[in-house]
Structure formats: structure tokens, C-alpha cells
A and B are shown apart, each in its own frame.
Chain A
Amino acid sequence: MTRLLKVDDSNRSDHWYLTAEDRCYYFYEYTAHKGFAFSKVNSFIANLKKPPSQRQEGHYRYKGVAIQEAAGLLRGVLNKSPGLLTTATLVPIPPSKPADHPDYDDRMEQVVKEACHGLQIDARCLIAQDQAYEASHLQGEGGSRIKPAELQALYSLVAPKPRGTVILIDDVLTTGAHFVAAKAAILAEYPAAQVAGIFLARRAIPAPTDDALAIET
């Protein structure tokens, strides 16, 4: 089984919005200085992120394969830590585009749904986002990238109240902005909640030159 790894003092500086208070876990690690070129992990992530506008193209079917693989990884965690089934709410990080947008991509919702299939667990879109913003993989890693506070302003929580532990699920951990914003939105309403994040992959070592290719949506 693919093991879950922790963001800790040895790698947290790759994700500059995260602090030592943030509990984040991931399965894979990759660098993508020149786009997604060679490694298995890079193509897994690239397939998962194929934009819905390519739906008609033959290679789009790999997106479905990647969603299944991602669901398998997450299911492995639930099998290993069955306590989560009764104590946690699993929440996909909302996509960058709202449901009425042509590029709306609910891949993480699909991953979570598939991973929890047949299980008695509270898994749902606790966080709603009503307004589009540019997917951050289309922006630079620097100033143009959306900040956690700006993101949090776009988020609203959907009733009912989550369980004591909330696990946010996202595909790629880059700066950590989405996690930090979602966590803040949850704590603002439910200060006693314990929030953690599980990511399919984390981007190790920010690219020095190709920052436009950094990815996160």
C-alpha cells in the first residue's frame, strides 16, 4: 500500500502558507520545473487535472483512470484508520470554477465520493465557492497568485455541522493557500473543529524559473 507521508519541518518551507500548526499529509512528491514530463507521479497528476474542455479528446479517458487511482489511495487510508469513519467529515477542497462555469471540474468531489463508496462516513462538499477565480496554475507563484484571505472570502459553509475532525482533500499541495483558507473558513464557524489535509501529491522544491508552470487548482 502507498504510505501516507507528513508535511514536517524538513519540507514545510516548500509550502509557504503552512505553519507548524497545520497537519497535512500526502502520498506522492514531485517536481515539475518544466511541466509534467517524465515521472509516473507527474503523469498521474497531469491526467487528473485534464481540463473538462478536453472532454471530447481521446486522452481525456485517462482522467477517469487517475480519479480511480486517487480514490484507491484515499480508501487505503480509511481502511487503515477506521476510526475516521465515525469521527471525521471528509471534505473536497472546492474547485476553482463554480458549477455553471464551462471549466468547472469536480474531480476531487468524485475522488472523495468514489473512495467512500459503500462506507458509512460523512463525506461531502462542506465548503461552497460561489465565484470563479483564475486557477492558480495559470498564474505565477508570486504576487498574482490568490492569497488565503482572498480565497476565504469566496468560501461559505454548507450545513449541517461537520464532525469533530474535518479532513480536507485536495490533489496537489503547492503554496498551501487553499488549505489555509478552507481551514480558516471552517474554524471561523466551528472553532472546536480539528482540521487536517490529505493531498495526493505535494510539489517539492518550487521551480526557480518556470513559476508559470506551478500547479494548483
Chain B
Amino acid sequence: MTLDASLTALDSSAVSPMLELGAYEWLWARSEGRVKPSFKAIAQLFRDNPGLLPSELVPADEAMDCAREVLNRFRKREVGPFGFRIRGLEDYPSPLEDAENPLEFLYYQGNWDLAYSPKRVAIVGTREPSDEGLRRTRKLASLLVKDGYTVVSGLARGVDTAAHETAIEAGGETIAVIGTPLDQSYPKENSELQRRIARDYLLVSQVPVLCHAQRPPTVNRFFFPERNITMSALTQATVIVEAGETSGTLIQARAALAQGRKLFILDSNFRNPKLTWPARFAEIGAIRVTDFEDIRCALNDPAA
């Protein structure tokens, strides 16, 4: 049926989310070197083209092919209902603009409304925490839930897993920002927890699906620290429970301070003689905390 001219005009003035999804994926996976596939380069592309959407920079038929590939892949891998957010449109979470290279696009599953829950704190730390570290993570998460905070973490092994699980057990809300596409989970043993968060809470992934599928794991692992930057931007504060000298957690520490977020470091890290990072971050603005009251006071003090 041919459309009436005025309806055609209306249709062409409307944004197609599918086309934007495909265009974003194209920038990462199909630009043949015209765009460097990195969050930094893509953010730069949109700084150079202010106000444009991905579809305005990408051939439409190729973008649609990419989008269809993503949808097919998600269908085959039984990802379930998902949504996405596009920078420059309504419903893009404004805190993400505070990142040095704001995300142009992100995928999500579950209850998007949690991204706007008024109090959001990230709990992060090592994948191999001590028993004390795990105990502190659980205590912290349950106290934050009791104070009405949404607990945000990265669904990694160790501290992240304990933070999400405790938030759920305590009847609170949680957001997982993952370093894999929606159709994958890492570590594998967390796939059930990821499914649960995707269904009942909020799961966020900034990882481009087609690009991830065509790259080797050695390159894909760089998506993990990138998601720490997003996790920080999405929250008002980050708490580091335990982290080694070379931990990816420190990427989030740096991002938090750069984005004007509060950064809390548990006292035990300062008392560990093998660690130099706690003092380094304390010098540039991190807050050393000995108990939950320290965190609560600083979170409630807008000037701190």
C-alpha cells in the first residue's frame, strides 16, 4: 500500500530504534577502518558531529543488516526481552554524560526504571577476596539496602557476586553492568544470577554484540575495565572493598574521581603494607572509611 504523502513525511521524521542499533553495531564491526572501534574514538566521532544519531553517519542498508544480525543472534541464544538507550534521545540517563567518553548506546534487560532510582552506590573489588573481604562486602550491601540504596556492581566473581547476591537476599534492588554482550555471561557460574538480574532487576551492557563475536577473547577482555567507567558514571559513589595493585577496580577508582563521584576505600586496604594504591587515591580525593557510618555521613553530606 502506498502511503499518503503526509504520512510518509511523518514516518521519515521518526527515529527507528532498530536502525540506530544497527548503525552503532556497524561503527564497531563493519566500518572497515573508517572508525576506530573504541569507546574513545566513537565518542570523538559524535563530538565532531554534534546532534547526529548513529544512523546519520552510517549507510542505512548496512546498518539494517547489522541490526537484523543482532536480533537473530539474540533470538537464537534466547536472550529474552531487551531494550537499549541511545544518546541524544529522551530516556538516555544523563549521569552517563559525566564520563570522559560518554556511551553512545547501551543495551539493557529488566527494569530500566532502576537506573533512575534516587540512591545508587557501586560496590566493587577483587575477584579473589579474602573471607574478611567477602564478609565486609555482604555487610556493606545489606546496610546500603537498608538505607534504600540500589547496589550496583559488575557481576564478576568475588566481591561483585557477593554484592549482587546480598542486595537481592536483603530484598533490595541491584544493577549489574557487565563486560560481555547480553547474550553471554562471565564467569559462566554467574549465568543464573545474570538471568535473574536481567529478569527482576536491571542488567546493563555497553558491549557491541557483532564486534565482540568476531574478536578473540584476548581483545574482548578490554571491555571489562570499560564497563567499570560506566558503573561509576551510573552511580553517585563507588566503594572499594578489596583490590590488588593491578586490579581493574582501580580503573573505576580513577573514573569515579574524574567524574566527580565519591570514592570510598575501606580502611583495611590502607592497613595492608603490600598496597600503595589506597594512599595514592586518598591523596587525590578518595575517602578512607572505617565503618558504615563514615559512608553514610559522606553520602548524606552534599559538600563532602
Q: Are B109 and A8 in contact (CB under 8 A)?
A: no
Q: Are B71 and A88 in contact (CB under 8 A)?
A: no
Given contacts A10-B17, A29-B91, contact A88 B6 (CB under 8 A): yes
Question: Cβ of A32 < 8 Å from any Cβ of B?
Answer: yes
**B50: min CB distance to chain A, Å:** 15
Bound-state CA distance A164–B8 (Å) is: 13
- Which segment of A59-67, A124-132, A178-186, A205-213 sits at the interface? A205-213
Q: Are B11 and A23 in contact (CB under 8 A)?
A: yes
Question: Cβ of A75 < 8 Å from any Cβ of B?
Answer: no
Question: Cβ of A6 < 8 Å from any Cβ of B?
Answer: yes
Question: Which single member of A3, A23, A40, A84 contacts B6 (CB below 8 Å)?
Answer: A84
Q: Are B199 and A208 in contact (CB under 8 A)?
A: yes
Total interface residues on B, CB under 8 Å, equals 39
Q: Are B200 and A87 in contact (CB under 8 A)?
A: no
- Which segment of B28-36, B111-119, B221-229 sits at the interface? B111-119
Q: Are A34 and B113 in contact (CB under 8 A)?
A: yes
Bound-state CA distance A10–B66 (Å) is: 12
Q: Which residue of chain B has the shortest Cβ distance to A11 in the bound complex?
A: B17
Q: Are B113 and A8 in contact (CB under 8 A)?
A: no
Q: Which residue of chain B has the shortest Cβ distance to A85 in the bound complex?
A: B6
Question: Cβ of A41 < 8 Å from any Cβ of B?
Answer: yes
Question: Which single member of B1, B4, B19, B113 contacts A33 (CB below 8 Å)?
Answer: B113
Bound-state CA distance A57–B111 (Å) is: 30
Question: Cβ of B7 < 8 Å from any Cβ of A?
Answer: yes
B3 cross-chain contacts in A, Cβ below 8 A? 194
**A155: min CB distance to chain B, Å:** 22
Given contacts A10-B67, A13-B81, A208-B200, contact A30 B113 (CB under 8 A): yes
A23 cross-chain contacts in B, Cβ below 8 A? 7, 11
Q: Are A194 and B4 in contact (CB under 8 A)?
A: yes
A205 cross-chain contacts in B, Cβ below 8 A? 81-83, 109-112
**B209: min CB distance to chain A, Å:** 13
Q: Are A38 and B117 in contact (CB under 8 A)?
A: yes
Bound-state CA distance A40–B90 (Å) is: 10
Bound-state CA distance A8–B71 (Å) is: 12
Question: Which single member of B4, B11, B113 contacts A87 (CB below 8 Å)?
Answer: B4
Question: Which single member of A30, A33, A37 contacts B117 (CB below 8 Å)?
Answer: A37
- For the A-B complex, the count of residue pairs with Cβ-Cβ distances under 8 Å equals 128
**B128: min CB distance to chain A, Å:** 34
Q: Are B14 and A25 in contact (CB under 8 A)?
A: yes
Q: Mark B84-121, 1 if CB is under 8 A from A, else 0.
A: 10000111000000000000000001111111111000
Bound-state CA distance A25–B15 (Å) is: 9
Q: Mark B13-40, 1 if CB is under 8 A from A, else 0.
A: 1111111010000000000000000000
**A10: min CB distance to chain B, Å:** 4
Bound-state CA distance A30–B9 (Å) is: 26
Q: Are B110 and A33 in contact (CB under 8 A)?
A: yes
Question: Cβ of B10 < 8 Å from any Cβ of A?
Answer: yes
**A110: min CB distance to chain B, Å:** 22
Question: Cβ of A101 < 8 Å from any Cβ of B?
Answer: no
B81 cross-chain contacts in A, Cβ below 8 A? 13-14, 204-206
Given contacts A5-B89, A14-B81, contact A84 B10 (CB under 8 A): yes
A38 cross-chain contacts in B, Cβ below 8 A? 113-114, 116-118
Q: Which residue of chain A has the shortest Cβ distance to B112 in the bound complex?
A: A31
Question: Cβ of B5 < 8 Å from any Cβ of A?
Answer: yes
Bound-state CA distance A38–B95 (Å) is: 15
A sample of 20 inter-chain contacts (CB < 8 A) reads A5-B15, A6-B11, A6-B15, A10-B71, A11-B18, A23-B11, A30-B113, A31-B110, A31-B111, A33-B113, A37-B116, A40-B116, A42-B113, A77-B10, A77-B13, A84-B6, A87-B6, A204-B83, A207-B111, A208-B199
**Apart from the given pairs A28-B90, A87-B7, A206-B81, 17 other A-B contacts in the complex at a CB distance below 8 Å:** A2-B90, A3-B14, A3-B15, A3-B90, A5-B15, A9-B67, A10-B71, A23-B7, A25-B10, A29-B83, A31-B83, A31-B112, A39-B112, A77-B13, A86-B6, A87-B4, A88-B6
**Minimum-distance CB pairs A-B, first 8:** A83-B6, A10-B18, A38-B116, A33-B111, A39-B116, A4-B14, A87-B6, A8-B18
